[in-house]
A and B are shown apart, each in its own frame.
Chain A
């Protein structure tokens, strides 16, 4: 339903869509992303349920699309409609942040930065969320070894906290 509205108001913004097991999914290019989100917000998709990412390391060679999909899940509380929005992007690119519109985006985006190494432009506090600050690598990338590489993931780690700048110790 909302997909038709997006199509009508922003023609060409949706590059791909599918409906699997009742989950509506749209794929949007990064250039149109903020406009689509603004429209969604106006349409009543107030609850940003989740943000995550998926790594497809072979995709740049095989399909010529960026390596990552950043995946957003929205819920419209008024009519209980759900929508999944995917934005493909290449390694090293940045995504625009949604923290200005959705406060909940703050930690979700930090988590993606931590686990996938995708930076969010304009994020007020782009720090790691679940691993420590000088953790080497981004664990949820497919090329990150399952056992962490070395026993304690401490390679390149200089001090337990922020370069030893802990006052008084």
Chain B
């Protein structure tokens, strides 16, 4: 029998035990933290997870490579497209193929929209938790627009399943680009508005500065990636350091903080939204017509009209659906810079239709594991601020 999950009361102490979660308004998903308090000071915090564990990795072993895509939507559901892109990239690495240029550009465009949506959730909700409700409303209007854009392009707002192995499942619809153009203007204004409301706000400073501060060495040791690592002063961004999807050709900066506290994480996220808008601008300028799927009947399904009229296409269609793609034997690890940090997929293939083992490396698991370290000695109110700035997404944390 393992040690009990509950934090128990010391027999002689007068500590209070507070159960935060699994359905607490500030946990944003089902996770639980057992706090041991002395007065209002946190003496011990025991994070518990697994309430949203669906066995994604186990399910992946019984699904074909393409069938796994809808499950990736449900990892970080605030930016589902980035998971689609990360997963498809891993399988393409395993296959050793390169996708068409337009497909890469569309993936970059969608990823950056998703990054903005994710950062809006994080910053907006972190602000609500601390009591700044207005920011949340101003920002969430923009988030609605990104979801409208996703709906337009993919047919779904949250669970997009946009990518296919070898490209994306359809080209951008008519009227999409003008809507993004409008979004660029409006979102830029909303980000400025958010900064005006928060960046010089003394209450916001009081609630966030110095809270959850972490040194760069500690952040690396805890396995931090993404905005939380950059806020601590480590300029690590996979889009720059190990570019994929042609990110090396875009002009953008990596914001870096100094102290790693909640305030720096907020600043990094706000600046990243601006940089994402810059990248989207560049994608729109260079978007050129072309195919959005690889031209390989062993990987991509043939177009429907050909399936109905040509024998060869019908056979390819049948073979792909019934027997799947011909996968090489081997193992790959492919990582992308998702909104929360390094989202990795480790795929082991034995040459079969399904992956032999599929591992999702969620960016927020290592970050959340440092929670106790971050809040020990702080107040309950600080725990709320730290939790919000970590941007824990239970779907990705528990898988």
Contact = CB atoms under 8 A, between A and B. Distances in A.
Interface centre among A20, A108, A139, A144 (most CB of B within 10 A): A20
Secondary structure dominating the interface of A = loop
Interface in B356-377: 356-357, 359, 361, 365-366, 368-370, 373
Interface string B314-349: 000000000000000011110100000010101010
Interface centre among B61, B331, B361 (most CB of A within 10 A): B331
A130 B361 contact: no
A82 B333 contact: yes
A163 B1 contact: yes
Interface centre among A48, A80, A130 (most CB of B within 10 A): A130
Interface residues on B, range: 35 or more
20 contacts: A20-B331, A21-B330, A23-B332, A23-B333, A47-B225, A50-B333, A54-B357, A73-B333, A73-B344, A73-B346, A77-B220, A102-B223, A103-B369, A104-B366, A108-B365, A127-B2, A133-B5, A146-B59, A146-B62, A165-B4
Nearest to B217: A46
A50 B348 contact: no
Contacts of B6: 161-162, 165-166
Contact of A84 (B2, B50, B234, B333): B333
B342 A49 contact: yes
Interface of B: 1-6, 8-9, 49-50, 53, 55, 57-59, 61-62, 93-94, 96, 218, 220-223, 225, 234, 236, 241-242, 330-333, 335, 342, 344, 346, 348, 356-357, 359, 361, 365-366, 368-370, 373, 398-399
Interface of A: 20-21, 23, 25, 46-50, 52, 54-55, 71, 73, 77, 80, 82, 84, 102-104, 106-108, 111, 115, 125-134, 139-140, 144, 146, 161-163, 165-167
